[in-house]
Structure 1
Amino acid sequence: MENSPSLAPSLPTLPPNVKVERTDLPKRSIITRPGFGTSGKRISLLTNHFKVSVGNPDEIFYQYSVSISTEDNKAVDGKVIGRKVLDKLYQTYSSELSGKTFAYDGEKSLYTVGPLTQNNFEFTVVLEESIAKRSGSPSDNGSPSGSGKRSKRFLHSKTFKVEITYAAKIPLKSVSLALQGAQMDKVQDALRVLDIILRQQAAKRGCLLVRQSFFHDDSRMFTDVGGGVTGVRGIHSSFRPTVGGLSLNTDVSTTMILTPGPVVAFLVANQNVKDARYVDWAKAKKMLKNMRVKAIHNNMEFKIIGLSEKPCNQQFFSLKAKIGSSSGDNSETLEITVYDYFVKHRNIELKSSAYMPCLDVGKPKRPNYLPLELCSLVSLQRYTKALSSTQRASLVEKSRQKPQERIRVATDAVKNYRYDEDPLLVACGISIEKQLTQVDGRILETPKLKVGNDEDCLPNRGRWNFNNKKLLNPKQIERWALVNFSGRCDTSHLSRELINCGRNKGIHIERPYTIIEEDPQCRKSSPVTRVERMFEQIMAKLPGPPEFLLCVLPERKNSDIYGPWKKKCLSNMGIVTQCMSPYKINDQYLTNVLLKINSKLGGTNSLLAIENSRRIPLVTDKPTMILGMDVSHGSPGRSDIPSIAAVVGSRSWPLISRYRAAVRTQSSKVEMIESLYKPLANGQDDGIMRELLVDFYQTSNGHKPSQIIVFRDGVSESQFAQVMNIELDQMIKAYQHLGESDIPKFTVIVAQKNHHTKLFQASSPENVPPGTVVDTKIVHPRNYDFYMCSHAGMIGTSRPAHYHVLLDEIGFSPNDLQNLIHSLSYVNQRSTTAISIVAPVCYAHLAAQQMSQFLKFEDSSDTSSGQKSMTAAGTIHLPELPRLHKDVAGSMFFC
C-alpha cells in the first residue's frame, strides 16, 4: 500500500527526503462538563451508591513512610507479614503513638488523622509464632521426628526493625473542594486514604483483598467452574466523588481462586484426567509452585517449592535416629524413604501417594518432603491465569444475579460491615447512609433502522429481526466452497438450508462448487498440517480461488483449527471465510451466520434511518471519521506474548456503519497504542492511522476527514492524560505526515465497562430499559461523563457503559452526543440487538481477538515471524502479526 499508485494526490506518500515540519503539540487538559442532557422520557432509578456525609471536613490525614527490615537489615516485602508486624507494633507501642490508630496499606505507607507525636520513629517488633521443632528431620519445618514420638511445639521469635517517617499532609478538605468542582491534585490522595481504611478493615476480617474488593472464606460464596478453579463472590466498596456529594459505591464482585481441598483432587480436576495415575507431573510441578498447602497430620501451613524427583516410596532422605535409651548423644543417620518414614515412624497409613512424587515444602538446598495425600490447598489463593471459554461460560451462568438480589447484597454489606464505625472514619465525622441513592434517568428514543425494499424497522426493547424482511444491501455469492473438519455435520443438508435461508433474506447463493470432507486420517495431525492439507484439496478441486469459504469446525469454542484456518484464508490467500459449528440448524441460527457473511463480503444488513437519509447532527455536515480503539493483552504472567492493538475506522462517509480494521502487535502488557504513527527509515509511515486515513479518503469520494470521533476502550482514569497527550499526538503526526496542514477537529471519548455502578428501576424488579442514560447526581463533579445502558438486559443485572468525554473540539451538545452514542449501539452488522457499548469499540475488540489467533498453534518448526526470538543481548523479540492480504484488508473480517 505504501507506494500504491491509487493513492490520491491530496493524501500523498512523501518521498524519503521530504520532512514535514511539526511543531510541538500542546499538552491538553480534560474538558469540564458543558451541561446536562434533556432528551428522552424521564425514569426514576436507584443506584448502588450510598451517600457519605463528612462531619469534620477540616481534618488532615498525615502520611508516613514505613520501612520494615530484619535484624540483619534485609528489607521485608509482602503484605501479610507487613500487616502482622504493624499490628504487633500497635499492640506493643500504643502509648508511644499516643493511642492514635492508623490505616496501613500493607506496603510502604500508613496514615493517621492528625499528626503523631514526632516525625521519626524506630521500633523493634518481636513476632512469636508457634512452630514444630523436630530433630533428625530433613527440615526443621514440619517433618515428623526421627524418634517416632509426637513433636513438641515451641515459640519461635523473629525480630523486625520498623522505621516510620513523616512524608506528607493530605487535607480531607480537598474532597469537599473537588465536590464543588475545583480541580485539586490532592483529592485522589484523600480518596485513596479512605479506600485504604476499608481495605484494612477487610484484612482484619481475614478477607482476600483484590484492589477494592474483599472476599470471605465462605463456601456459600464459592462456585466451582471446573479445572480446579472456583469463583468466589465478594464485595467491592470504594469512595467516589459525585455531583451529589461523596458516595460509597458498593457492588457484588467476583474473583477466581484455586479450589480448596486435597491437592490430588485439584490436580485431577486441573488436568481433566480420570484419576491421579494420568497426571502429567511436569505440568503439575509448574502449576503447584508457590501454592500454599496445609498438612492434615499436623495442621501446619507450607509453601510448595517443587516436587521430589522420585515417587514417595523411592525418595530417600537422611534421618537421625536415637540408639538405645542412654542420655548421651547416641544417634545414627539412616537413609529412609518418605513413605516408610510416615508409615513406620508416624503410624500414618498412606493409601494412594506411594507411587506419586512428594511435595517439596522446604528450602532450595534443604528439601522437606510431604506425601501428596496428606496435603490440602489452603483457601482463598488467587488464580490469575486466563479462564478457558468453558470456565468463563460456567462462571457467567452461575454468578448471574437479578437486580433485586444485587440490591439486597449491596445494602446488606453496608449495614453489616458498619464501615463508618471505624475509628479513623469516626475521627473524620464520616457517616454512610444505608439506602441506595435515588437518581433521575432518561430513556432515549429508539433509533429507527432501514432494511431491504426500503422498509423501516423499529426495534422493540432493543431487539429486532429479519423475519419476512430482506437485507438492505445483500451480496450475491457465486464461487464458494464448503469445507468440513467435523465428522458429525451433514454438510449437504447445511448447504441446502443456507441457500434457502439466504434466498428469503435477499442473498442469492449458488450451489457450492464443492464440499470437501476432511480425511479422518488427518485428524491426528497438527492443526496447521490439517489446514494445509485441506487447502491442497481446495486448490485441486476448484478452477481458481473462491470468493468465499464456509468452514465447519469440530468444536464451537476454542477449536485448534480456528487460528491456522483464519491465518491461511485472511493472510496468505485473501479469501473471505466464515467458521461455524452448528449444534442445531434452524432459521435463526442461519440468519445470524448470513448477517456475518454478508458483512464480510461488503454487503450491508441495515442502516440507521438518519444515516440513510444523511441527517446525523454534525456528522453528516462535514466529513467525519469514527474510530474504535482497543488493546488485547495475553494471559496474565505471559510476557512472551505480545499485546495486540486494534483500531477500526469508519469508511464510505457519510455512513457510520461500515468499518475497516488495522491491527498490530506491540510490547506485552502495554496499554497505550504504539503504532498509530510509525515512521520508517525510508521516510514512509507504516502506522495504523495512515492506513485508515487513506482508506477513508478512497471510500468517501475523495473527502478527507475534517472531524474525527475517537472511542477508546480499556483505559482507566489514571491513563486519560496519556490518551490525550500520547495517542492523540500520534494521530495528528500521522495526519501531518500525509502532507496535510489543516488538522481535523477531535472528539475523544473513553468507553468503560469495567466499573461497579449499577442502575435499577425504582418501581420494577426488571432491568432498566434499553436507552437509559444518567448524567446527574452520581457522575463526576467536574469532568464530562455519563452512564448509558443501551442494551436490554435479558438475564442477570445490566451493566451500563460509562462514557468519559475527554475532548470535544467538534462541539456536540450533550443531547446530540448521547443520541449519537446510543445510535452507534444499533449499527453492529452481526447482531439484531442493541449492544452494550458502541459498535466501533466492539469491532476493535473482535478484530484484536481474531488476529490474536494468528499467533497461536504455530508449528515449532515454523521460523516465520510468528515465533519469538532472542537477540544476543538477551532481549526477547515478540512475534510480529502477519498482515492481512490486500484482497480482504478492507473487509469487515471481524464480523
Structure 2
Amino acid sequence: MASSSLAPAKVNGPNRRPMARLGLGTKGHRIPLLTNHFNVKLSSTSDHFYQYSVAFFYEDGNPVEPKGVGRKVLDMAYKTYESDMGGKGFAYDGEKTLFTVGPLPMNKLEFTVILENLSSNRTVRGSPNGGDTKRSRRTPQSKQYTVKINYATKIPIQSIFNALQGQDSEQFNEAIRVLDVLLRQHAAKQGCLLVRQCFFHNDPRNFISIGGGVVGCRGFHSSFRATQSGLSLNMDVSTTMIVRPGKVVDFLLENQNVRTLRDIDWIKAKRVLKSLRIKTFPCNLEYKIIGLSEKTCGEQKFEMKRKNGNSPNETIEMTVYDYYASHHHINVNDSRDYPCLNVGKPKRAVYIPLELCELLSLQRYTKALSSLQRSTLVEKSRQKPQERMKALMGAQRQSNYAADPLINSTGITISTSFTQVEGRVLEPPKLKFGNGGDLQPRNGRWNFNNKTLVDPTQIKRWAIVNFSAKCNINFLLNDLLKCCHAKGMQLDNPWRKIEESPQFRRNTPLVRVEKMFEAIRKALPGPPEFILCILPERKNSDIYGPWKRKCLVEHGIVTQCIAPLKINDQYLTNLLLKINAKMGGINSVLTIEHLHSIPLVSKKPTIIFGMDVCHGAAGSDGPSIAAVVSSRKWPLVSHYRASVRTQSSKVEMIDGLFKPVAPNKDEGMINELLKDFYLSTPKLKPENIIIFRDGVSESQFNQVLNIELEQIMEACKFLDPVWDPKFTVIVAQKIHHTKFFQPNSEYNVPPGTIIDNKVCHPRNNDFYLCAQNGAIGTTRPTHYHVLLDQIGFSTDELQEFVHSLSYVYQRSTSAVSQVAPVCYAHLAAGQMAQFIKFDDMSDVTSSHSGGGGSVGFAQMPKLHKNTCSSMFFC
C-alpha cells in the first residue's frame, strides 16, 4: 500500500445523515405478531407546547440544586399560586425546564414558597411579580424558597405530524420530549421513583431481593416513538436497583454480610450510606445522611444551649447518648458503642443514633453489583412472554393516562391494545463442517455430534496450570484428549501439569501469577504455544486479569481459562471450540461462505468491522475501552482479529480510529486492521468495507456517519490516496424496549424472525431481528439501523446477510442475538479492560491509548506479536 503525506485537518466536515428506507423485505414465511407499542392518536395540529426555564433559590439568594426538591417546590407553588398561573397545569422535567400546553399568563413569574419537613400545609403567599408578601408563621423545620419561571420558546405540535409523514423536522425531538415529560409528570403524581423514562411504584410485590441489602425494583419504561403506522407509546418492563427500606442497622448487617454491628467496616458503611435519606423516630422527620460521627454515640459530644437562672443562653457539652436519655427519655443502648449518623451540614453536624433511623423506600442503589448479585437479578427478573404481556397490560391500565387533565389537553388518546405487526421467519443458513456435507440448523441451534472442525489446529507445545485445589486435572485431560480426537483436532499430551503451591494461595493475584510463571519457566523446556489455566472460581476470579495480561502481553502465549463445575461432552465441545478459534483454526463456516456465493461480499474483496466501547461498571471513573474487530482471509467472514485502545471515561465515540503522527505513520486502529487484511488476503485491498457499530443511540447516528466514518475514510486515504472503497454502515442496538410476541402462545418468536413494518422508523432504513432461540425469558430483538449503503445491497440481501452473520460466532453452537463481529468487539473490549483493572499501566507506552482525551488514565498495553492477530477474545 502506498503512503500519502500527513493529511491536514478538515475545517468543515461532511454532513451525512441516515439513508431512507428503500423497501420492505420479502423473504421468509410470514407470521402474525404483537408488539408492546400502543397506538397514539393526536387530535390537534395547531397548538404549541410552551417551554419555560425554572430556577430555585434559598432565602439567602443562593441557588438550589433542583434534584430531589424541585418537584416538591413546584407542586407547592402551583397549589398556592394556581390563579396566578392561569390555572394552567405543567409538566416538569425534574431539572430546569417545565412545559405547558398554551402559554402562562406572563413571560416572567416569581413566587415565594415554604416547605415543611413534616406534612404541613403552611405556605407563604407572595406576589407573582416579587412584591410584598403576606407571611404566615413558620415552624423551625420549614424552609423558604424562591421560584423564578421565564419563557424560553414554543414548540409546534405540528412537528410531530411532519415527522410521521417522513418529513425533516428539527423540532420533532423537542415535541416528543414534551410528551415523554408529560408521562413522567403523571407518574410523579402517583409517587413513583423516576429514572429517565422509567417509573417504579412503591409496592413490595415489585421488589426482588438480590442480597447485600439491595433490592431489584420492577417497574416500567414508557416513551413515544415515531413509526410507520403513526405515533406509538412503547411500554416495557424495567428494573432498577434500590436499597432495602427499613432499619439502617438491618441494612448494614445485610450489606456487609455480618451478624453484629461489632463486625461492621465503618469506612465502607460511610461510603454506602452517604446521601441516602432516612426517617427518624420518634419525631418522624426526614433527613439526608452526610456521613458518620467520628466517635461513638456514648462518646460523641456536642454543644447545646439551655436556660439556667440568670444565664438563659448557657452552653453545655453533652454526649448524644445522654441527650436522648435526658431529653427524649430514650435509652439507645444498642447504638451506644457505634457511630451516629450525621444528618446536618458540613459545618454544623447533627447526630442521630443508628437504631432510631429507617431508610426511606425507593432510593436508588448506584454502586456496582457483585457477580452473584448480577446473576441473581437476571435469574429472578426473567419473565416469559405471556407473563410480560400480562404485566404490560396491567401497567397500561394502572397508568390511566385518560384521566390526566394535562395529557388530555394535548389531544392525545392512547390505545389500550398491543399493536399487530407482520413478521417473517428467515431460513437459517446452511453450515459446513470438516467431514463434508451441509447442516441446516434447527431452532437456531446445531451440534458437533459426528462432525469435525473445518480447519482444526495442531497443538504440540502446551501445558496445564492449576490454581484450583478442587479440580482433578487427570480426569479433565483424558476427556479433553478424547474430544479433540473425535473433532479432528490434534492435541498432543501436555508437557507438564503444574499445580499451584498451597503456600501461595493466600497471596495477592499478581504474586500468585508471578509464582506460577516462575514454576512454568523451571518446569518447561521452552515457551509453550498454549496454556490451559484452571481458575479457583468462576467469572469473578481476581487471577483472570493478571494471568491474561502475563500470557497475551508479556509472553505471547495463547491461553484458555476454565473453572469447571460439571464436565460433560457439551462442556468439552464448547471448550474445544474456543481453543481452536484462539489458536487460528475455524470450527464451522457458512456454506455460502465456503462456496464464495455471499451476494456482493464474495465477489469483491470485503472487510467487515465490528465496533464497540466498554464503559465499565456504574460509578467507575476509569477509562472507557474501545475495540474494533475486523475480518481477515477474505473471502472468509468467520475469522477476525481485534484492535483495542483506551479513551476518555464514558465517551461513546471512538477517537482512536485514525491517528496520524508523522507523514508516513498512522497509529490508529483502522490502519492496523487494514494492513492485517492486506497481508492475510493476500495483498488485496478491500473494495467494500462493512461496518457494524454497537452501543450508540439514535441521537448519535450523525456522529457515527460524520465523525467515525470520516476517520475510517481518512485512514484509507492515508494508506493510498487513490483508493476509494465503498462503505455500508449498520448500527446494532440491543438497548431498546421493543418486544415481539406470538398471539395466544407461551413461546417466544421463532429464531430468524425479522420485522421491518409498522413499528419501524417512518423514514429511515431499520429492522428488528430475533436471530437467537429465546429459550429463557422474553426474546430481546436486535434493532438494526442501516445508516449508509454505498455497496448496493437489496433489502433482502442485506437482511439475510445480517442474519447469516449471527451463525458465524465460533464460540457457540447456536445463533447469537447480534452479528458475530459486534459480539467479538464486545468480548475484546471487556477482556482488555481486565488488564487495567488489576494493574497500574501508567508506565506503558501511550501509543495504544485513546489519544489525548485519555491523559491521566491507565494505558492499554500492546499485545505480543505472537497473539496480536489471534482471536484471543474468543
Identify whether the pair has TM-score above 0.5, normalized to the shorter chain: yes
| Runs of 4+ more than 4 Å apart | 20-25, 328-332, 873-876
Provide the rounded CA distance (Å) in 2 between the counterparts of 1:30 and 1:19.
30
Q: CA deviation at 1:20?
A: 4.6
Cα deviation, residue 182, structure 1? 0.6
- Once residues 72 and 866 of structure 1 are traced to their aligned partners in structure 2, the CA distance between those partners, rounded to angstroms, is 52
Confirm or deny: 8 A CA contact 1:251 1:756 kept in the other structure: yes
Give the drift of 1:287: 1.9
Which stretch shifts more, 238-247 or 364-373? Answer: 364-373
Give 1:878's aligned residue. Answer: 857
Work out the CA distance in 1 between the residues paired with 2:343 and 2:141.
19
Pairwise CA distance, 1:846: 0.3
Q: Given the superposition, is the C-alpha separation of residues 369 and 70 from structure 1 closer, same or farther in structure 2, using an over 3 Å criterion?
A: closer
Question: Which residue number corresponds to residue 70 of structure 2?
Answer: 82
2:180 aligns to what? Answer: 195
Alpha-carbon contact 1:126-1:159 (below 8 Å) kept: yes
2:718 alignment partner AA: H
Shift of 1:12: 4.3
Distance change in 2, residues 1:875/1:819 (3 Å): closer
- How many Å apart are 1:129 and its aligned residue? 4.1
Are the structure 2 counterparts of residues 400 and 281 from structure 1 closer, same or farther at C-alpha, using a change threshold of 3 Å?
Answer: same
Contact 1:790–1:834, Cα closer than 8 Å, also in 2: yes
Structure 2 counterpart of 1:100: 88
Alignment of 1:382 with 2:367, yes or no, is: no
Amino acid at match of 2:781: P
Partner of 1:512: 494
Cα distance between partner residues in 2 of 1:744 and 1:365: 64
Q: 1:554 to 1:12 in 2, by over 3 A?
A: farther
With over 3 angstroms needed to count, the CA separation of the structure-2 counterparts of 1:715 and 1:732, relative to structure 1, is same
Please give the per-residue CA displacement for 1:523-582, whole angstroms capped at 9, x wherever unaligned: 111111111110111111111111100000000111010000000000000000000001
Q: Deviations over 1:385-426 (max 9, x none)?
A: 222221111000000011111111111111221113322321
Alignment of 1:573 with 2:555, yes or no, is: yes
Once residues 25 and 98 of structure 1 are traced to their aligned partners in structure 2, the CA distance between those partners, rounded to angstroms, is 48
2:84 partner SS: coil
Superposition deviation, residue 25 in structure 1 = 5.2
Name which of structure 1's ranges 334-343 and 162-171 shifts more when overlaid on structure 2.
Answer: 334-343
Instruction: Tell me, yes or no, if structure 1 residue 499 matches structure 2 residue 481.
Output: yes
Q: Which amino acid aligns with 2:85?
A: L
User: 1:237 and 2:238 equivalent?
Assistant: no
Structure 1, residues 236-275: CA drift from partner, whole Å, max 9, x if none? 1111110001111111111111122222222222223343
Report deviation, 1:875: 10
- Within 5 Å, give how 1:268-417 maps onto structure 2: 268-323=253-308, 330=312, 332-417=314-399
Judge which range, 814-823 or 357-366, deviates more.
357-366
Q: 1:189 to 1:525 in 2, by over 3 A?
A: same
Q: How far has the Cα of 1:321 moved from its partner?
A: 4.3
How big is the shift at 1:311?
A: 1.6
Give the distance between the partners of 1:341 and 1:99, measured in 2 at CA: 49
Distance 1:378 1:443 in 2: 49
Distance in 2 (CA, whole Å) between partners of 1:354 and 1:96 is: 53
Percent identity, aligned pairs only, is 58
How many angstroms apart in 1 are the aligned matches of 2:556 and 2:104?
70
Following the alignment from structure 2 to structure 1, what is the Cα–Cα distance between the partners of residues 269 and 116?
34
Q: Distance in 2 between matches of 1:183 and 1:302?
A: 49
Counterpart in the other structure of 2:512: 530
Task: Show the counterpart of 1:779.
Answer: 760
Provide the C-alpha distance between the structure 2 equivalents of 1:179 and 1:86, rounded to a whole number of angstroms. 34
Partners of 2:117 and 2:280 in 1: how far apart? Answer: 17
Q: Secondary structure at the match of 2:465?
A: strand
Q: Is the contact made by 2:842 and 2:858 (CA closer than 8 Å) also made in structure 1?
A: no
From 803, 806, 811, give the equivalent of 2:787: 806
Is 1:118 aligned to residue 103 of structure 2?
no
- Mapped to 2, the partners of 1:446 and 1:524 lie a distance apart of 50
| Letter paired with 1:513 | W
Q: How far apart, in 1, do the equivalents of 2:725 and 2:258 lie?
A: 59
Instruction: Quote the offset at 1:723 in angstroms.
Output: 0.6
1:254 maps onto 2:239 in alignment: yes
The equivalent of 1:793 in structure 2 is: 774
Amino acid corresponding to residue 185 of structure 2 in structure 1:
Q
Note closer, same or farther for the CA distance 1:339–1:116 as it changes in structure 2 (3 Å cut). Answer: closer
The answer as to 2:42 corresponding to 1:19 is no
Pairing of 1:630-641 with structure 2 (within 5 A): 630-639=612-621, 641=622
Whether contact under 8 Å (2:184, 2:194) holds in the other structure is: yes
1:4 corresponds to: none
Q: Residue 52 of structure 2 contacts residue 99 of structure 2 at CA under 8 Å; is this kept in 1?
A: yes
Letter in 2 for 1:291: L
Deviates more, 1:100-109 or 1:116-125: 116-125
Shift of 1:613: 0.6
Q: Which runs of 5+ in 2 are unaligned?
A: 121-136, 847-851
Shift of 1:125: 3.0
Give CA-to-partner distance per residue, 1:450-471, whole Å, 9 cap, x none. 0121121211100111122111
Q: TM-score, normalised on structure 2?
A: 0.94
Kept in 1: contact 2:842–2:859 (CA 8 A): no
**Distance (Å, rounded) in 2 between the aligned partners of 1:96 and 1:78:** 22
Q: Does 1:749 align with 2:734?
A: no
1:716 aligned residue (671, 690, 697):
697
CA displacement at 1:322 relative to structure 2: 4.5
SS of equivalent to 1:647: strand
Determine helix, strand or coil for the equivalent of 1:452. coil
- Give the CA RMSD over aligned residues: 2.1
Equivalent residues of 2:115, 2:143 under 8 A apart: yes
8 Å CA contact retained: 2:386, 2:745: no
Contact kept, 8 Å, 1:307 with 1:357, in 2: the verdict is yes
Q: In 1, Cα distance between the equivalents of 2:854 and 2:21?
A: 46
What letter matches 1:662 in structure 2? S
Q: CA offsets per residue over residues 256-300 of structure 1, 9 Å max, x none?
A: 111222222222222233432222112222222111122233222
- CA–CA separation in structure 2 for the residues paired with 1:523 and 1:632: 31
Given the two structures, how large is their TM-score scaled by the length of structure 1? 0.92
Number of residue equivalences = 852
Taking the aligned partners of 1:521 and 1:474, their CA distance within structure 2 comes to 39
Q: Which amino acid aligns with 1:793?
A: G
Amino acid at match of 1:124: T
The answer as to whether partners of 1:131 and 1:153 remain within 8 angstroms in 2 is no
Name the residue aligned to 1:482: 464
Q: By how many angstroms is 1:85 displaced? A: 2.0
Distance (whole Å) between structure 2 residues aligned to residue 409 and residue 738 of structure 1: 55
1:584 corresponding residue in structure 2: 566
Deviates more, 1:83-92 or 1:654-663: 83-92
CA contact (8 A) 1:57 1:428 kept: no
Q: Aligned residue for 1:615?
A: 597
Q: Deviations over 1:211-250 (max 9, x none)?
A: 1100111111011111221110001111111000111111
Question: Aligned partners of 1:340 and 1:487: how far apart in 2?
Answer: 54
The alignment status of 1:172 with 2:157, answered yes or no, reads yes
Structure 1 CA distance for aligned equivalents of residues 116 and 720 of structure 2: 72
Whole-angstrom CA distance in 1 between matches of 2:822 and 2:507: 37
Cα distance in 2 between the residues matched to 1:789 and 1:703: 35
Which residue identity is paired with 1:292?
R
Moved more, 340-349 or 710-719: 340-349
Give the SS at the match of 1:499: helix
Q: 2 CA distance for matches of 1:171 and 1:379?
A: 39
- The equivalent position to 1:225 in structure 2, one of 210, 219, 232, is 210
SS class of match (2:62): coil
* Alpha carbons of structure 1 residues 161 and 353: separation in structure 2 relative to 1, 3 Å: closer
Are the structure 2 counterparts of residues 186 and 22 from structure 1 closer, same or farther at C-alpha, using a change threshold of 3 Å? closer
Q: Which residue of 2 aligns with 1:91?
A: 79
Instruction: Report the 3-state secondary structure (helix = DSSP H, G, I; strand = E; otherwise coil) of the residue aligned with 1:405.
Output: helix
Q: State the partner residue of 2:608.
A: 626
Q: Is the 8 A contact 2:648 2:854 kept in 1?
A: no
Q: CA deviation at 1:190?
A: 0.8
The answer to whether the Cα contact below 8 Å between 1:482 and 1:514 also exists between their aligned partners in 2 is: yes
The corresponding residue for 2:130 is: none
Shift of residue 352, structure 1, vs aligned partner = 2.8
User: In terms of mean alpha carbon deviation, does 826-835 or 850-859 score higher?
Assistant: 850-859
C-alpha contact 2:3 2:664 (8 A) present in aligned 1: no
Aligned residue identity for 1:735: C
